[in-house]
Chain A
Amino acid sequence: MKGRISFSIKNKHIGFKLDLERNVTIITGDSGTGKTKLVNMVRQYSEEGRASGITLKCNRPCIVLDGNNWDLILERTKGSIVFVDESTKFLNEYNFAKAIIHTDNYYVLVTREPLPQIAYSIDAIKQIIKNDRKPRIEKIYDKLTIKDITAAKYDLIIVEDSKSGFQFFSKAAEGLKTKCESANGKSNILSVLEESNEERILVIADAAALGAEIQRLSRYKAISGKNIDFFLPESFEWLILKSAIFDGNERVRGILKSPADHIESGKYFSWEIFFTYLLVEESRNKEKLKYPKGKGKLPSGYLTEKNMDSIMNAMKRK
């Protein structure tokens, strides 16, 4: 399943609108905003259709997944929007995370739990803002990232990655005369931040799969007293593709313009995996830029002054 999907649901009293473009969307936030109301309306419509008194507009079937036979129901569900409410016991289980990978559905998960077993984007985390009969559903972290890592001076750069991304940013840090270290995985970023004594810190991580960590990281930024910035491109490979290095590549430009229209959710659970595939494909015949599938060693072509500059400035491009 791919593409941007518009969903709206309303009854006599209240209505919700939601745009979906990734296979996992998280709805979280305060109590009393209507999250369970939204899921219950989807449930009632899926059971009784228009006879429920609810109007649902979506070009895909919408269901609520619950109960002990959820795995059997999921096996038979394709091309659908699948809602799961908070308090559904299987939501935080590894079996559920395993079951939804490579399925042809979009999932809307209502929860405050981080769900580290599921790779989802910070861009897909939303909250309901109360607004009388027309509550709004908004992204929570869409203004968190900085776009220019050279605009400020940092004492330390922490890179989530330990492979090609780290090789790139440690070279960039040399030029900025800043210390750079790898967190060896996104789940370690917070503890590396807490252990560091530096005052001004830049964290570089892939937004595409940082969903489970971002609430704790942004809370730490708010309460730790340290001066922390986040540089969160979709992924390191996305940043390369977005740079001037691929300016002449129409396929890449077209995909970056509207990734949701090109990324098949059943094949690529995370956009991070898709952009790695795309970079490997599109750099295959480029001397010194042939990107390794396993991301092991960054080809030297990406470390020239000109290309480093292009990559570091890619987030600023429209």
Chain B
Amino acid sequence: MLRIYFGNLPDEIYNTGMFYENQYDKNWVMDDFAREVIRDIDDSEVVSPDVIKNDIFGSFASTELSAGVKTLLLIRNMPNKVFNISNCGDNCAKYLLRLAEDRDIKVTLHHAMDFGNDFSVKVINDRRRKIVSDPVEFLMLADRYLKGEPIDEG
């Protein structure tokens, strides 16, 4: 299950794009999951290890993939690290849930991601371990942990 911490954690990898560039394996893009997310999210096809192709940019390396796809590939291949999934748009949400179907994955989240209406995650702030499946309950928890006030202009 996806175990979500709203806000910063000392051990989180906040800049997943940078981490990917320095840690990726060229074969990460070769499995079915990677091919599917690269096709769906980045409108691109995997040609060979570390070679991706689309109609606009031609061939490019996996370091040029979107931050969302890089984050998904990191979570799939380095599940023990804590990655910031605010690098992922709502179009990555179903893949995050799929990656966490048969194992616990701990992530940080800094915005109210839309997981749709059919999901189950754990929110682990304040040592909570409750499973959340209601989108309104999830939104209210996001609001509780993410809200703040603007700096006074004076």
Interface residues of A (CB under 8 A from B): 13-14, 29-33, 36, 86-89, 92, 94, 97-98, 101-102, 111-114, 116-119, 130, 132-133, 185, 187, 190-191, 194, 209, 212-213, 215-216, 219-220, 223-224, 268-270, 273
Contacts and interface: CB of A to CB of B under 8 A. Distances in A.
B150 A212 contact: yes
Q: Which of B18, B66, B69, B147: most chain A CB closer than 10 A?
A: B147
Interface in B37-93: 41-43, 55-58, 66-69, 84, 86-92
Contacts of A117: 148-151
B125 interface: no
A87 B140 contact: no
A86 B87 contact: yes
B139 interface: yes
Contacts of B69: 31-32
Contacts of A130: 43
Contact of A31 (B68, B84, B135): B68
B143 A216 contact: yes
B67 A31 contact: yes
Contacts of A212: 147-148, 150
Interface of B: 14-18, 41-43, 55-58, 66-69, 84, 86-92, 110-114, 117, 135-136, 139-140, 142-143, 146-151, 153
Contacts of A215: 111-112
A116 B92 contact: no
A87 B18 contact: yes
Nearest to B58: A13
B151 A101 contact: yes
Given A14-B56, A273-B153, A223 B67 contact: no
A30 B67 contact: no
29 contacts: A13-B56, A30-B68, A31-B67, A31-B68, A31-B92, A32-B66, A32-B68, A33-B89, A87-B17, A87-B18, A87-B67, A92-B110, A94-B151, A111-B86, A113-B110, A114-B112, A116-B146, A117-B148, A117-B151, A119-B153, A133-B56, A190-B140, A209-B150, A215-B111, A216-B139, A216-B142, A219-B112, A223-B135, A268-B153
B43 A86 contact: no
Given A87-B87, A112-B86, A194 B136 contact: yes
A116 B147 contact: yes
Contacts of B110: 92, 112-113
Contacts of A88: 15
Nearest to A110: B67
Contacts of B41: 30-32
